[in-house]
Amino acid sequence: MFVPSILHHRSCRFSCDRFVPDTFGVLCWNVYKQNTKHKGFQPFLQRLTKEKEIDFLLLQEAHFRDDKHFTLPNFAFDAAANLEFRGEFYGVLSASRVESKSSQAYLSEGRESLIGPHKSLLMSTYPFEDGSTLFVLNIHAINFRENQRYYRELERFLELMKHHTGPMIIAGDFNTWNKKRIQKLHEIREELTLKTVPFKQLDKVKSFMGNHLDFIFYRGMELLEFSVDKDHGVSDHNPLFAQFKKTD
């Protein structure tokens, strides 16, 4: 259960776009394992993707199998499992209107406890029409461990991403429930020259003791708009939306 038999899952059963458009939307959401169980999930997501022209869905605590297509037509997905139960898998999932060029799944080095699960992260690349590449890291950071273990996990994804140049998005549930974790996260962000989508407390981002847990970071793009949608009733996290325009 705590070591999945298949780490990287992938499905592309529909006709996808060839390239990431120069202006595109990203939705980041911890769905609390409700994406295939909650009857309101699919209609809510269908409405949101149409209203906001979303091209990427970066989900945490998603439920998936690579022999099933994604909830929405014309979206391919890659996923990294951290849990398996009776042939069903859970972890981070990156769905997109453009099939990924490459995708690599990873497990955290540490576990949530001595016998608990690892956490998963997924690094994927997507092509722009001009030949450049968009790098996307979807992460669900380790939670119930001491700060030093948390720091080591953040430094690991810095190592994964620091050699990449060009447009980049790092997003997910970072479990930054104290000030020291947030400080370390922003140190890593600065090393990668990433900007933060500036969600505010009033936006109702999932928080603990006033500390945001969910973030979207980016570089090589202009942020056009951003919002948090609270009208869903699916998860205890609210989905974060950001629209970007690629810059030269």
Per-residue pLDDT of 27-54, as tens digits, reads 999 998 877 777 788 888 988 988 999 9
- Domain 8-246 is of which CATH architecture? 4-Layer Sandwich (3.60)
Task: Determine contact, residues 30/60, Cβ cutoff 8 Å.
Answer: yes
> Which ranges in the chain belong to alpha helices (H)?
41-52, 147-161, 179-191
DSSP 8-state class, residue 20: B
Pairing type for strands 133-140 and 168-173 reads parallel
How many Å apart are CA 8 and CA 182, to the nearest integer? Answer: 29
pLDDT mean over 159-179: 93
Torsion-angle region of 193 (φ positive above 0: left; ψ -120 to 50: alpha; else: beta): left
Task: State the sign of the Cα–Cα–Cα–Cα dihedral 234, 209, 157, 119.
Answer: negative
pLDDT band at 1 (very low <50, low <70, confident <90, very high): low
pLDDT in tens, 138-148: 999 988 788 89
Cβ-proximal residues to 165 (8 Å cutoff; 6+ apart), any chain? none
Q: Output the pTM of the full model.
A: 0.94
pLDDT at position 107 over 70: yes
Dist CA 230 CA 192 (whole Å):
30
* Among 182, 170, 142, 160, CA closest to 240: 170
Sorted by where each begins, the domain ranges of the chain are: 8-246
